[in-house]
């Protein structure tokens, strides 16, 4: 119990810590030299509607994930997903809003895309536009590695109006200049 309390206290301290900055740079916008990260994520999804549950109650998700830092607190994401069992796939693009600038970044996000679940022989009935909302946390492990946890909820506008929710964990990589900032005086 004491270890849990110490861990939670340390986690809260990290989340609310403030990075010391050079006073001469106050009020000057900065941006990282590297803004792109990519990697893989895996997760488990639970079908929420009966038609999708008839296919499988749970799905394994494997994704190729991409993230581009757009502003200090805004990331644009693009994910390509595969769901097992079966020939189920999809892709999403959207925006994540980061709630912190520290190494522990909780976030909320939303996106749109398309998803296909192979439930019968009719391709048109199984594919549709999708919308996703999620919450999660990005942990900056070092200058070039991020660990991302995410809890998504997705609705697919296909014949059966499929819905699923789950948990994902991903590892994203970028080059070593992610924490190097350039000053933007003309902004």
Cis peptide before 85 (omega within 30 of 0): yes
Average of pLDDT values for 16-27? 53
Instruction: With beta carbons less than 8 A apart as the criterion, state whether 61 and 44 touch.
Output: yes
pLDDT of residue 25 exceeding 70? no
Query: Tens digits of per-residue pLDDT, 87-100?
Result: 889 999 999 999 98
- The pLDDT, as a whole number, for residue 124 is 65
For tokens 């994910």, the residue is 79
Instruction: With beta carbons less than 8 A apart as the criterion, state whether 34 and 174 touch.
Output: yes
- The pLDDT, as a whole number, for residue 41 is 96
Residues 37, 127, 123, 52, CA torsion sign: positive
Average of pLDDT values for 157-174? 92
Q: What domains are there in the chain, each with its CATH number?
A: 33-184 (2.40.160.20)
pLDDT of residue 15 exceeding 50? yes
Nearest CA to 170 among 144, 145, 153?
145
**Segment among 6-15, 42-51, 84-93, 167-176 with least mean pLDDT:** 6-15
What three-state secondary structure class fits 23? Answer: helix
pLDDT of residue 40 exceeding 90? yes
Instruction: With beta carbons less than 8 A apart as the criterion, state whether 90 and 131 touch.
Output: no
Q: How far apart are the C-alpha atoms of 125 and 116, rounded to whole Å?
A: 9
- The pLDDT, as a whole number, for residue 87 is 85
- The pLDDT, as a whole number, for residue 79 is 94
Buried (b) or exposed (e) across 66-76, using 16+ Cβ within 10 A?
Answer: bbebeeeeebb
Residues 44, 166, 66, 118, CA torsion sign: positive
Average of pLDDT values for 25-34? 57
Query: Tens digits of per-residue pLDDT, 132-161?
Result: 999 999 998 888 899 999 999 999 998 889
Per the document, the length of the chain is 187
Q: What percent of the chain has pLDDT over 70?
A: 73
- The pLDDT, as a whole number, for residue 118 is 82
CB count in 10 Å sphere of residue 163: 16
* CA dist list (Å): 161 to 49, 71, 78, 116: 8, 34, 23, 11
Average of pLDDT values for 15-35? 55
pLDDT of residue 22 exceeding 70? no
95 half-sphere exposure, CB direction, 13 A CA radius: 7
Instruction: With beta carbons less than 8 A apart as the criterion, state whether 164 and 154 touch.
Output: yes
The rounded mean pLDDT for the chain is: 82
């Amino acid at each position: 119990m004491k270890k849990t309390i110490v861990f939670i206290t340390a986690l809260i301290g990290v989340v609310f810590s403030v990075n010391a900055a050079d006073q001469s740079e106050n009020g000057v916008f900065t941006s990282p030299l590297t803004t792109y990260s990519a990697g893989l994520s895996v997760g488990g999804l639970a079908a929420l509607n009966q038609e999708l549950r008839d296919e499988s109650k749970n799905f394994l998700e494997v994704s190729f994930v991409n993230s581009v830092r757009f502003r200090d607190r805004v990331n644009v994401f693009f994910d390509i997903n595969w769901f097992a069992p079966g020939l189920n796939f999809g892709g999403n693009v959207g925006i994540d809003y980061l709630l912190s600038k520290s190494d522990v970044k909780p976030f909320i996000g939303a996106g749109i895309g398309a998803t296909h679940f192979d439930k019968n022989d009719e391709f048109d009935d199984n594919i549709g536009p999708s919308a996703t909302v999620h919450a999660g946390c990005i942990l900056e492990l070092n200058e070039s590695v991020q660990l991302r946890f995410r809890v998504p909820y997705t609705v697919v506008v296909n014949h059966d109006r499929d819905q699923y929710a789950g948990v994902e964990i991903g590892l994203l990589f970028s080059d070593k200049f992610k924490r190097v900032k350039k000053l933007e005086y003309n902004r």
